Amino acid sequence: MPKFPSVTPRKILAALAKAGFEIDHVTGSHYILYNELNGRRAVVPFHTKDLPKGTLRSILKSAGLSEKDLI
């Protein structure tokens, strides 16, 4: 299995936007995105560093996406 890529919050927001998510609202430094088609919600912490791999997996799981969809 290939190594999981390092991803910045800006890149994950772009990937979620391509998957049909829209920004619902922003609370502090967290973007809350919502997809009307499947009713799923994803929360992305917006910081300057790369997202930790566990956080990235959690975001993908809550969005209903796989690691292959990100790559």
Extents of the domains making up the chain: 9-64
pTM of the complete model: 0.88
State how far the Cα of 53 lies from the Cα of 61, in Å rounded to an integer: 12
pLDDT, average across residues 63-68: 88
In the block, tokens 């796989």 appear at 66
CB 42 within 8 A of CB 59: yes
pLDDT of residue 60: 93
**Each residue of 14-53: pLDDT tens digit?**
999 999 999 999 999 999 999 999 999 999 999 999 999 9
For 39-60, the three-class secondary structure string (H helix, E strand, C coil) is CEEEEEECCCCCCCHHHHHHHH
Superfamily of domain 9-64: Hypothetical protein. (3.30.920.30)
DSSP conformational letter for 1: -
